Amino acid sequence: MRVALVSLNQAWEQKDQNLISCRGFVQRAKEKGVDLLVFPEMTLTSFSMNTSVTAEDRQTSKTVECFKAIAQEFQLAIVFGVVFNDGDKATNNALLIDCAGTIKASYIKMHPFSFAGEDEMFNGGSAISFGTVCGMTIGLTICYDLRFPELYSALSKHCDCIINIANWPTKRVDHWNVLLKSRAIENQIFIVGVNRTGLDGSEIEYKESSQVINPNGDILGEFLSEDQLHVYDIDSSFINQFKKTFSTTQDRKTEIYKVIL
């Protein structure tokens, strides 16, 4: 499967402007033979806790409808982030849609970042979510989730690849790099991390750090890289080939972990 990661320099809380940018990236990706395109967290707004501006109704979301239409127009699958209203708070979501515009997976961020007050504005999810596109089963996670390996262990029982969409700041990018590699090694699957670039509305800096890690913990080389668009070829058969030479996940003691955790 050919996957494109977009390290989008998101315009702060500007949905229309970001949507125009995203459509342009989709068009470019289609020209490169991409099957799946992945955008950062809260794709059309950047990571803002101003839910009065960012949040939409889940059933009538303009963001969702626009990405469905783009996926159908260009005939490729897309992962994107969006904020939905949820009672007196909101939820931070990642969606996977296929080339027909069908939602294949919809995930609510399980771990709001309490250190920054995200939990005051957002409710956390309580379920994993994964879906299959182009013959590969993909799990969804969002930013701070990366620090919680249990979530990835659960997803890895079903998935060939787990995607994390993020707004992960430069000052902690070393953690991002180490954690992505760790999640790949311990679960022996592909891990995809897509991070934004530039400055957000709070003057927080983000640097280019999107990447694909294989089950051995190796960073994949790019097929193509140009202006925030990074294209990779992922071969899911590598997982079984690799496990024939070195396999660890069969030795997990999940029933014991449930007790001691």
* pLDDT value of residue 123: 98
229-238: average pLDDT: 97
Per-residue pLDDT at 41: 98
- What's phi and psi for 36, nearest 5 deg? -140, 130
- Rounded CA separation 32/218 (Å): 24
What confidence tier does 31 reach under pLDDT thresholds 50, 70, 90?
Answer: very high
pLDDT of residue 164: 99
CA separation for the pair 15, 43 (Å, rounded): 8
Condensed to tens digits (0 to 9), the pLDDT of residues 39-59 reads: 999 999 999 999 999 999 999
Residue-level pLDDT at 208: 97
Q: How many domains does the chain have?
A: 1
> Six-digit token pair at 257?
């972990």
CATH of the domain at 189: 3.60.110.10
**CA–CA dist 149, 227 (Å, integer):** 32
Its domain, for residue 43, covers: 2-260
| Res 110: pLDDT | 98
The pLDDT score that the predictor gives to residue 93 is 99
Q: What number is the average pLDDT over the span 183-200?
A: 98
Predicted confidence (pLDDT) per residue in 74-117, tens digit: 999 999 999 999 999 999 999 999 999 999 999 999 999 999 99
pLDDT tens sequence across 123-162: 999 999 999 999 999 999 999 999 999 999 999 999 999 9
User: Tell me, what's the pLDDT at 85?
Assistant: 98
Q: 191: pLDDT confidence band, cut at 50, 70 and 90? A: very high
Average pLDDT of every residue of the chain = 97
SS (H, E, C) the chain: CEEEEECCCCCCCCHHHHHHHHHHHHHHHHHCCCCEEECCCCCCCCCCCCHHHHCECCCCCHHHHHHHHHHHHHCCEEEEEEEEEECCEEEEEEEEECCCCCEEEEEECCCCCHHHCHHHHECCCCCCCEEEECCEEEEEEEHHHHHCHHHHHHHHCCCCEEEEEECCCHHHHHHHHHHHHHHHHHHCCEEEEEECCEECCCCCEECCCCEEECCCCCECCCCEEECCEEEEECCCHHHHHHHHHCCCHHHCCHHHHHHHC
Q: CB–CB of 80/61 below 8 Å?
A: no
**Residue 12's pLDDT is what?**
98
**How would residue 241 be classed by pLDDT, with cut points 50, 70 and 90?**
very high
List the structure tokens of 25: 């990236």
Per-residue confidence (pLDDT) for residue 147, from 0 to 100: 98
